[in-house]
Amino acid sequence: MFSSKRRKPYLIPVILACAISTLLITLIQVVFFSDDSNHLIFHQNLHVNYEQSSPSLSPISNSFDHDNEFRSGNESESQSCQKNDFYQVKLQEAESELDNLKKQLQDNNPTGKSNYKIGQFHYNSNDIFNYDIGKGEPSFHRFMSEYIDFYLKHKQTIMHPMREYRDYSIYGRPEKVNIEEYGRSDPEDPLSEETLRGFLKNPKELVEELTRNHKIITDAIPSHAPFPFYKGNGYILAANGLYVWQALLNIEVFRALGSKLPIELLINVESESDDTICNVILPKLNARCIHMPTVFGADVMSKIKFGAFQFKILAMLGSRFQNVFFFDCDAMPVRNPDYLFEWEVYKSHGMVLWPDIIKRTTSPDMFKIQGIQVEKEIVRHVADVFTDPKYYKLDKKDEDINWERDVNFHDRKGALPDWSTGGGAILMNKYTHFDVLLLTLYYNLDGPFGYYPLITQSGPGEGDKDTFAFAAHFYNRPYYQPPRPPHYLGVGIQCFESEPVSDFEKLQEAVNDIKVKMERGEKYDYLKMFHDKIEYPNREFLFYHMHQPKWDPFRFMREKMTLNDKGEDQRLLGWMKDVMDLELVCYANMYHDICEMEYQFTCFEGHSQEEKDAICGFLKHRMEWLDDNTWDKKFKGYSYAKFVKEVES
């Protein structure tokens, strides 16, 4: 390109100046003159066509063809190498200057004018190890590190004063707030704006700070994942300590039901892991353990201490699957859920959630923080979002309605529909709902003394459960949630959640029936026409969420939890027809793992030798009693040892 006879010494700084200028101009064009649609295309291209990116002077490429750019055709090889070394140094300096400029732009313009999006600068195909987040990917580490850095700059500094409301009871919820039963006895029990504002008092300064931070965070969240690692379908669970054991029981249930899809188990740190489970048992079941330090990197782990309610979102982010089905360790399926990945309602919505037992108790301030206007207009009745509102409007003229007192707040346009959302299972397409996942993580990072008091106002199950729905609501992303709360059954706190396909079919029947009756002039009756049509026993179930007690066989034996007041055997999970006998299968699996295989599990190391000697007799008796008293013909006489051989073959 340049002849050695014609090259002048002063051309060297000119060439370097041009190279640096090109770098800076390219960056400024990307940062200041790209709009949101360009960012969307940018992220889509990275996701779909990542490996085909060519070396260029762009913010995402660290690959330069130095030899062709600067080599003279008449130079000797040694002269060329010497000059290339010189130019390499200068170009590295230019790249360093570019990186400094990027940092300055991010620090000075985190949102707004710079159109900054988390992760927009960092990715090139040379950085990818094996397209497997679970084995550690530097690009994903940097993305999460950037996300956490950005959050830490904009985390809340004003804490919700909810400690003043706590009585430190066994439930740890406010004494002054009595919202336990809303919707349980009467689904039409109204929760007006006035009632909701009376639960917890939210400091004005807190609401203002969260409003500012929410805008900054959501402006910076990319709409799609800026890396190509999410592929395929699969399940993810998250656990530590004893819950790793419970996760094993859950995974064994998946396989007993015939599930074929891969399963991942995210464990916080390796010290909380179990070698027997991770290295011996799970590999035989097309499942594996992944560990947070490997998935998210040491930098992220050193910057922030994650709590239990962030664990679920991190598991979904760190799973390698694009379509990921999260299950709590204590949420066990009673039907094979593999078919739901192909369900048309899921494909069209991109996310399926399951409801909780009570109505939403969200503070109106939450919608203010999100920048969503809740209007003076009724658009639904409880969970019936389908029937024309003219059939159930209040017997008042609009001008006579006291909107703060007379109307169920979550029936109004702009609010989130009832019922509240549970957290036992979540099915999500991370390509269409990646921004929802990142916003959900933010809600949970600032959750305990920020968003949790706003979303549930210290109601039952306070934590991550409603945050997915609120993130989807903010981004106007579709999702499907069955319209009826779970059905409680058994000893302790146990509930069955709906099988959504049959539930959706019954919902369609109810809606069509209501339409016909309304056209005939009948009066709208929510309980008879809608609620009861899809209530138990007219429902089928997908999974059992066992809040208490957890699956600890030593505790069951020690506290005699499997016996009733008369000292007789009883079922902890109740009696349920037409689904797997979950209790029978779990006891058979526990007997196989602990007694037949004599696996040594970390979580049981502290038990006395006397308890260890007695546990096999307890498990065998329990398994035989359940088998003699089962409704489940398919799993009567179930042998896990035989099942394992079938799986391995």
Total Cβ atoms within 10 A of residue 96: 10
pLDDT value, residue 648: 64
Mean pLDDT of 624-629: 96
Cα–Cα distance between 34 and 44 in angstroms, integer? 15
Mean pLDDT of 179-199: 78
Q: For 14-18, 156-160, 383-387, 501-505, which range has the lowest pLDDT when averaged over its residues?
A: 14-18
- Residue 20: which pLDDT band, with cuts at 50, 70 and 90? low
* Consecutive H or E run containing 135: none
Cα–Cα distance between 91 and 64 in angstroms, integer? 9
Mean pLDDT of 142-168: 84
Give residue-wise pLDDT tens across range 537-559.
667 899 999 877 889 999 999 99
pLDDT value, residue 43: 29
pLDDT value, residue 495: 84
Q: Is the pLDDT of residue 274 over 90?
A: yes
Mean pLDDT of 564-575: 91
Mean pLDDT of 380-384: 93
N-terminal to C-terminal alpha carbon distance within the chain:
64
pLDDT value, residue 44: 28
The CATH number of the structural domain formed by 135-540 is 3.90.550
Q: Is the pLDDT of residue 437 over 50?
A: yes
Average pLDDT of the chain to the nearest whole number: 81
Domain layout of the chain by residue ranges:
11-125, 135-540, 552-648
Cα–Cα distance between 332 and 547 in angstroms, integer? 11
pLDDT value, residue 47: 27
Q: Is the pLDDT of residue 39 over 50?
A: no
Cα–Cα distance between 318 and 142 in angstroms, integer? 13
Most confident among 115-119, 144-148, 569-573 (mean pLDDT): 144-148
Give CA angle at 250 (248, 256), nearest 5°.
105
CB 390 within 8 A of CB 400: no
Contacts of 245 (CB under 8 A, 6+ apart): 274, 277, 551, 601, 603, 604
Higher pLDDT, 125 or 2: 125
Cα–Cα distance between 369 and 213 in angstroms, integer? 9
Q: Is the pLDDT of residue 506 over 50?
A: yes
pLDDT value, residue 181: 58
Give residue-wise pLDDT tens across range 330-374.
999 999 999 999 999 999 999 999 999 888 999 999 999 999 999
Q: Is the pLDDT of residue 78 over 50?
A: no
Cα–Cα distance between 18 and 78 in angstroms, integer? 25
- Residue 117: which pLDDT band, with cuts at 50, 70 and 90? confident
pLDDT value, residue 50: 24
Q: Is the pLDDT of residue 13 over 70?
A: no
Cα–Cα distance between 205 and 361 in angstroms, integer? 22
Q: For 168-177, 188-197, 458-467, 490-499, which range has the lowest pLDDT when averaged over its residues?
A: 168-177
Concatenated DSSP letters for 345-370?
HHHHHSEE--B-SS-----HHHHHHH
> Under DSSP, is residue 569 helix (H, G, I), strand (E, B) or coil?
strand
Cα–Cα distance between 222 and 59 in angstroms, integer? 16
> Rounded to 5 degrees, what are φ and ψ at 481?
-135, 120
Q: Which residues pair with 291 in a beta bridge?
A: 267
State both tokens at 142: 């940097």
Higher pLDDT, 121 or 186: 186
Q: Is the pLDDT of residue 49 over 50?
A: no
